[in-house]
Amino acid sequence: MADMKSIFDLSNDVLSEILKRTIENSVYDFMQIRETCKIFYEAAKDEYIFATMSLHNYGCMPWKIEAKKLLEKALMANNPQALYREGMLKCFCHVNYDVDRGVRLLRAMSDRGVTEATYALGLQLICIESRASEGYRVLQDLDAIYFEEGFDVITRCRRVTSRMIADIWTTSQLEPLKRVYCPCIDDPDRCSYCFWNYEAEYLADLLERRNYGPLPIS
Ligand SMILES: [Zn+2]
């Protein structure tokens, strides 16, 4: 095995991975490490970092300029989590509101396996009269994941959604449709239709509450 003497012996792939893990935790650490030497400075330009990095430590509407720039770069690199965040803004932010674009983005990310995008997409669609049946079909996909993985998947979707909405200053409103009679007699534990309607009411309430103050982050 060849002797590893210095940072100059590391391959570009390894350098990119180091930078990716750094920026996932802190954009400021990334900026610092990038300035330490030319080799890191050059490696930090690798689009792979922005296309594949996890954005779990970042919301959808950061206040700090550095985080904002990072999200823009990730968006340009087609990072699925950045595109999900953009979809959330288009659907639920009053200032960025463009529900058709938001739905398209959330659908594309749902197709790429971002479960939280499936959740937001389905709930948004079942609140639009002309697209409600499309929304229930989307949510059937989530039902299938839920039956396989358990309720944790719903808890995670709620937590991530809440985290995104907490970031939005002025939210748009969601108006769940009037519910039709259901033979389950309102039993959301056993009925997908009633469950998702309650979930849409929960999301509508979250959006409403955000306009009156900060949301607790869980
Ligand atoms: Zn029911």
Cα 192 to middle of ligand 1, angstroms: 7
Cα 52 to middle of ligand 1, angstroms: 40
Rounded distance between C-alpha atoms, residue 130 and residue 134, angstroms: 9
> What is the mean pLDDT of the segment spanning 133-140?
97
- 91-101 burial code (b ≥16 CB/10 A, e <16): bbbeebeebee
Give the tens place of pLDDT for each residue, 145-187: 999 999 999 999 999 999 999 999 899 999 999 988 888 988 8
Cα 185 to middle of ligand 1, angstroms: 6
Cα 136 to middle of ligand 1, angstroms: 13
Cα 183 to middle of ligand 1, angstroms: 6
Model pLDDT, residue 180: 85
Rounded distance between C-alpha atoms, residue 166 and residue 25, angstroms: 20
User: Which residues are within 8 A (CB) of 125 and not within 5 positions of it... i.e. 6 or more apart?
Assistant: 103, 131, 132, 134, 135, 138
Cα 181 to middle of ligand 1, angstroms: 8
- 209: enclosing H helix or E strand: helix 192-210
Cα 142 to middle of ligand 1, angstroms: 17
**Which band of pLDDT confidence, cut at 50, 70 and 90, is reported for residue 4?**
low
DSSP string, 13-37: HHHHHHHHHHHHH-HHHHHHHHTT-
| Selection from 73, 77, 74, 168 nearest residue 120 by Cα | 168
Q: 2 pLDDT exceeds 70?
A: no
> What is the mean pLDDT of the segment spanning 193-217?
91
Cα 141 to middle of ligand 1, angstroms: 18
Domain spans of the chain?
Answer: 78-210
> What is the mean pLDDT of the segment spanning 28-36?
93
Share of the chain above pLDDT 90, in %: 83
Rounded distance between C-alpha atoms, residue 110 and residue 96, angstroms: 21
Residue 127, SS3?
coil
Strands (E), 13-171: none
**Which band of pLDDT confidence, cut at 50, 70 and 90, is reported for residue 215?**
confident
Cα 37 to middle of ligand 1, angstroms: 61
Give the tens place of pLDDT for each residue, 112-135: 999 999 999 999 999 999 999 999
Most confident region among 11-20, 29-38, 82-91, 166-175 by mean pLDDT: 82-91
Model pLDDT, residue 76: 97
Cα 92 to middle of ligand 1, angstroms: 27
